[in-house]
Amino acid sequence: MAGSRVLFVSGSLGLGHATRDLAIARELRRKAPGIEIGWLAASPTAETLDGAGETLVPECRDYRCETDTADAMGVKGRLNLTGYVYRALGKWVHNAGVISRACERGAFDLLIGDETYEIIVTNVLGIRPFPSIPFVMMYDFWGMDASTRKLFERLGAWGLNFIWSRERRVTGRGENAALFIGEPADIQARRFGAFLPNRRRSVGGHVIFLGYILTFDPASLPPKPALKADLGYGLSPLVVCTVGGTAVGRELLELCGRAYPLAAARVPGLRLVLVSGPRIDPAVIEAPVGVERRGMVPDLYRHLAASDLVVTQGGGTTTLELTALRVPFLFFPVKSQVEQEVTIAGRLARHGAGVRMDLSGMTPEILAAQIVRHIGTPVSYPRVPFDGASRAADVILDRIERRRRLCGQRAKRNPPALDRP
């Protein structure tokens, strides 16, 4: 596969997608040394990829940021996913054009999209022509649900599911492929909506299930006391509160801060670390004396592994890492974010992992009691498949090889260099 060129669009919200995309890229390079990967992403993913030494294509300048839309809509721990999609549609149409231009300019052999819905939506609706190279689309949830009974939202969810039920017209074409990061049980066995097909049956013989993706090997980490010492935590009981790569979680961080004195009175030496991520300035987080505030934390999984309890939102990557690390955790799915409220919460319930909480009506007193109750609790989460990055790389390389055979090993003439924007 030496000389093959791949455009990787790392889309969607937050940073969980970036970490799993980097894991897939590492597997691609391990299995096919010499493969070239160009990246198309917006903030905060672009900064993460650049910091990892990856090559961003010049079109990143024009690729519009979806996380900005989510941050503008997210209030008090709530993000209406259907409403977010309404606002993001204009960006999706624009970004679909940016992706097409990047494919043409860069002379790539294959396009990978991590939740690159702009390609699915614009092609099913006939708004944009499809790129003339194989496309591998990655999903981690399947279908939209309305979070209220408002007619506008319910009609919007139905319309999105109508498109979703026809995504096979895109990913089932030619050498394209659809990958699902998870297991068949992560897709509900019910209809997309009235007059639409069953969700789980719609993937039959079409979608490839990868299992899950981790960026680290849990077995390679030292025991918790040694890890705590290495990270400077000493032997104190440690609680980490983290909210991922959007600005939606400020309320949860500040709630944890208010709960700290109450919990510390019952847990001697308790240490609380608030990790605000790249979109919230830790300096603006209101917290009492004794609470540590941090922004972006490299290798956050090591801090999670060192923790005696983690408080987090319902993001797929963080909760998956905690399940693999077998660390007790409380999770607060973002209200009206149906992926977290339905798909991820359902997966965690199936695995018996974490304790689901509700930010509505939550008080510092209640949260402190939950922290005291669950800190250091032994857990026995089941082992789940974590080799999804390797499986994804196999599918991608297979599609590249199919294209080569189809094109008769035709070589490209003087492809442009992959350079940073």
Decide: 331 and 356 in contact? Cβ < 8 Å.
Answer: yes
Half-sphere exposure of 271 (CA within 13 A, CB side): 14
Q: How far apart are CA 134 and CA 121, in angstroms?
A: 17
Co-location of 41 and 190 in the same domain: yes
Co-location of 208 and 230 in the same domain: no
Decide: 358 and 341 in contact? Cβ < 8 Å.
Answer: no
One-letter amino acid of 11: G
pLDDT at 38 (0 to 100): 97
- Which DSSP letter does residue 114 get? E
pTM: 0.87
Residue 148 maps to a domain: yes
Q: Taking 60 as the threshold, does the pLDDT of residue 162 lie above it?
A: yes
Co-location of 235 and 359 in the same domain: yes
Co-location of 110 and 181 in the same domain: yes
Sorting pLDDT into bands at 50, 70 and 90, what band is 277? Answer: confident
Q: Could you tell me what percent of the chain has a pLDDT over 70? A: 90
Task: Out of 75-79, 89-93, 215-219, 370-374, give the one with best mean pLDDT.
Answer: 370-374
Q: What residues form DSSP beta bridges with 110?
A: 6
Decide: 82 and 392 in contact? Cβ < 8 Å.
Answer: no
Co-location of 284 and 399 in the same domain: no
Q: Taking 50 as the threshold, does the pLDDT of residue 413 lie above it?
A: no
CA distance from start to end of the chain: 26
Residue 46 maps to a domain: yes
Co-location of 292 and 358 in the same domain: yes
Residue 419 maps to a domain: no
Q: What is the DSSP track for 206-256?
A: TEEE-B-B-SS-GGGSPPHHHHHHHTT-TTS-EEEEE-TTSSTTHHHHHHH
Co-location of 252 and 207 in the same domain: no
Cα angle for residues 127, 133, 137 (degrees, 5° grid): 70
Residue 242 maps to a domain: yes
Tokens coding 145: 């649900």
Cis amide linkage into residue 44, ω under 30° from 0: yes
Q: Taking 80 as the threshold, does the pLDDT of residue 418 lie above it?
A: no
pLDDT at 84 (0 to 100): 63
One-letter amino acid of 243: V
Residue 127 has a CB neighbour count (10 Å cut-off) of 13
Q: Could you tell me what percent of the chain has a pLDDT over 90? A: 66
Residue 412 maps to a domain: no
Residue 381 maps to a domain: no
Residue 102 maps to a domain: yes
Q: How far apart are CA 112 and CA 137, in angstroms?
A: 6
Co-location of 59 and 184 in the same domain: yes
Co-location of 263 and 187 in the same domain: no
Q: How many domains does the chain have?
A: 2
Co-location of 198 and 98 in the same domain: yes
The CATH number linked to 233 is 3.40.50.2000
Q: Which has the higher per-residue pLDDT, 289 or 404? A: 289
Decide: 389 and 23 in contact? Cβ < 8 Å.
Answer: yes
What is the total residue count of the chain?
421
Residue 138 maps to a domain: yes
Tokens coding 197: 């097909």
Co-location of 190 and 252 in the same domain: no
Tokens coding 306: 């060192």
pLDDT at 12 (0 to 100): 63
Average pLDDT, the chain: 89
Co-location of 12 and 156 in the same domain: yes
Q: Which domain holds residue 286?
A: 219-374
Closest among 183, 176, 157, 164 to 80, alpha carbons compared: 157
pLDDT at 259 (0 to 100): 98
Q: Taking 70 as the threshold, does the pLDDT of residue 280 lie above it?
A: yes
- Which DSSP letter does residue 32 get? S
What Å distances lie between residue 393 and 20, 22, 57, 248, 357, CA to CA? 12, 11, 21, 32, 36
pLDDT at 52 (0 to 100): 92
